[in-house]
């Protein structure tokens, strides 16, 4: 099949999507159910309707755009990603998979391709954990890993209840209806930027993902004792920041202790109260992210962090319980999807390598519902979650072509 991807149109749409941002360009900030997120969602739905796809939204705001096949009762072949963006990040993470997925469906349509199985493009709600502390809210709930009760119990950093935020975001209906049965899709393929340096280093336009690493997220509020920075002497202080700092160092030590390049540990959130130069920090809020492609090794690192915290908190006389927000198992990509993507790359004469995804994606949870795979394109300098995140229009176009042919094979 001769696929013609409209690179200019796709670039222009990515540019427009990037303008829906709470940070000045080139940075992008688009957090779940903020005004900017709602603008992005509306824009995406308009583009899908203009492309002749039928659009629906579930109770959690996951958006589905469907290209009907000749046998619509068969489980569909799905693709998609997210358009939410963490504070001060870039314009390609997730968006390439959503707008690139749309361009793939448009290219298939204009090539005259008629799928046997329907094709469905999904824009997942809140892949990023920014607002409610938990990533992949949409796909996690679709896969039944996150229950409606748990969702309803969530509060954001400003204390806004999940249900209040959801209705302000224009979503209604029972959260119980979001979960999908296993086998509801025949296949899922997500196109994404690599977010790492390997493809660029290897000079390759394409990665076919074989496995997705597993994240665990820990949250902790440390309660120490505040006071006057001058009048309060050093002995006997119970400084929450210092306790948290020791823990952050313990996270680094635990991640390094495995000796495996695939183990990573990050203390990415650290906020102190009251935050004044002449006041001892009485409280610290911390979030820790630990990942590995091997579940046991990842959990061993989490165990070391817990043991370190027991010792630090006891010695420093501060309190606080380490809460596990999520501890997800890694996913293996299905051979059938890997092979469809490899076939597509070969048909397009594009060299590729098989690789691991060290970032998590909605594909991690879709893998619980159906055979799943991912296609990576290069990220300049391996940079992501930063305003200077970049993949060229040509790189994106090639990824979309591979996606389109993969979808065509899986839906034929």
Among ligand GLV, Mn ion, none, what binds residue 360 when CB lies within 5 to 8 Å by partner kind?
ligand GLV
Choose among 372, 324, 332, 378: nearest CA to 351.
378
Q: CB 380 → ligand GLV: shortest distance, Å?
A: 18
Among Mn ion, ligand GLV, none, what binds residue 330 when CB lies within 5 to 8 Å by partner kind?
none
Taking CB under 5 A as the criterion, the residue among 37, 93, 200, 409 binding Mn ion is 93
Q: CB 97 → Mn ion: shortest distance, Å?
A: 7
Q: What are the residues whose beta carbons fall under 8 Å from the beta carbon of 85, sequence distance 6 or more?
A: 21, 28, 29, 30, 31, 91, 93, 94, 95, 128
Under the phi-then-psi rule, with left for phi > 0, alpha for psi from -120 to 50, and beta for the rest, what region is 186?
alpha
Query: Closer to ligand GLV at the Cβ: 128 or 401?
Result: 128
Q: CB 360 → ligand GLV: shortest distance, Å?
A: 4
Strands 185-193 vs 372-377: parallel, antiparallel or unpaired: parallel
Burial code (b: 16+ CB inside 10 Å, e: under 16) for 26-41 equals ebbbbbbbbebbbbbb
Q: Is 328 in the site for Mn ion (CB under 5 A)?
A: no
Choose among 395, 402, 403, 397: nearest CA to 8.
397
Taking CB under 6 A as the criterion, the residue among 142, 143, 359, 403 binding ligand GLV is 359
Q: Is 360 in the site for ligand GLV (CB under 6 A)?
A: yes
Site size toward ligand GLV (CB under 6 A) is 3
Query: Closer to Mn ion at the Cβ: 379 or 406?
Result: 379
Beta bridge partners of 77: 119, 187
Which residues, 85 to 144, sit near ligand GLV by CB under 6 A?
128
**Rounded to an integer, what distance in angstroms lies between the CA atom of residue 35 and that of residue 22?**
9
Strands 283-292 vs 279-280: parallel, antiparallel or unpaired: unpaired
Among ligand GLV, Mn ion, none, what binds residue 389 when CB lies within 5 to 8 Å by partner kind?
none
Q: Is 94 in the site for Mn ion (CB under 5 A)?
A: yes
Tell me if 7 sits within 8 A of 85, measured CB to CB. no
Query: Closer to Mn ion at the Cβ: 94 or 281?
Result: 94
Query: Closer to ligand GLV at the Cβ: 118 or 139?
Result: 139
Query: Closer to ligand GLV at the Cβ: 118 or 379?
Result: 379
Q: Provide the binding-site residues for Mn ion, judged by CB under 5 A.
A: 93-94
What does the binding site for ligand GLV look like in residue numbers (CB under 6 A)? 128, 359-360
């Amino acid at each position: 099949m001769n696929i013609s991807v409209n690179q200019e149109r796709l670039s222009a749409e990515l540019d427009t999507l990037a303008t829906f941002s709470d940070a000045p360009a080139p940075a992008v900030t688009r957090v779940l159910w903020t005004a900017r997120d709602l603008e992005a969602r509306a824009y995406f739905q308009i583009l899908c309707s203009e492309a002749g796809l039928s659009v629906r939204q579930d109770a959690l705001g996951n958006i589905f755009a469907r290209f009907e096949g000749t046998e619509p009762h068969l489980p569909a072949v799905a693709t998609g990603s997210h358009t939410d963006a963490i504070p001060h990040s870039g314009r390609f993470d997730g968006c390439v998979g959503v707008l690139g997925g749309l361009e793939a469906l448009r290219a298939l349509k204009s090539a005259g391709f008629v799928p046997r199985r329907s094709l469905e493009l999904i824009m997942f709600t809140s892949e990023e954990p920014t607002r409610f502390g938990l990533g992949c809210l949409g796909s996690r709930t679709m896969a039944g890993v996150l229950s409606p009760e748990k969702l309803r119990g969530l509060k954001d950093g400003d204390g806004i209840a999940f249900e209040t935020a959801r209705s302000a975001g224009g979503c209604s209906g029972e959260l119980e209806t979001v979960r999908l049965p296993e086998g509801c899709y025949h296949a899922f393929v997500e196109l994404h930027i690599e977010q790492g340096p390997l493809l660029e280093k290897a000079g390759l336009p394409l990665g076919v993902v074989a496995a997705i690493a597993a994240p665990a997220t820990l949250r902790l509020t440390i309660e120490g004792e505040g006071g006057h920075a001058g009048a309060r002497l050093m002995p006997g202080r119970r400084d929450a920041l210092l306790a948290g700092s020791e823990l952050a160092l313990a996270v680094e030590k635990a991640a390094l202790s495995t000796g495996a390049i695939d183990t990573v540990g990050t203390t990415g959130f650290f906020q102190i109260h009251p935050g004044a130069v002449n006041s001892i920090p009485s409280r610290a809020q911390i979030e820790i992210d630990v990942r590995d492609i091997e579940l046991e090794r990842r959990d061993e690192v989490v165990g070391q962090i817990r043991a370190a915290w027991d010792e630090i908190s006891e010695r420093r006389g501060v309190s606080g319980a380490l809460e596990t927000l999520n501890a997800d198992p890694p996913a293996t990509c299905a051979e059938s999807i890997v092979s469809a993507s490899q076939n597509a790359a070969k048909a397009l004469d594009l060299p590729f390598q098989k690789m691991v995804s060290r970032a998590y994606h909605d594909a991690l949870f879709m893998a619980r519902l159906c055979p799943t795979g991912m296609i990576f394109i290069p990220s300049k300098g391996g940079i992501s979650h930063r305003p200077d995140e970049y993949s060229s229009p040509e790189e994106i176009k090639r990824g979309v072509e591979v996606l389109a042919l993969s979808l065509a094979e899986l839906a034929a």
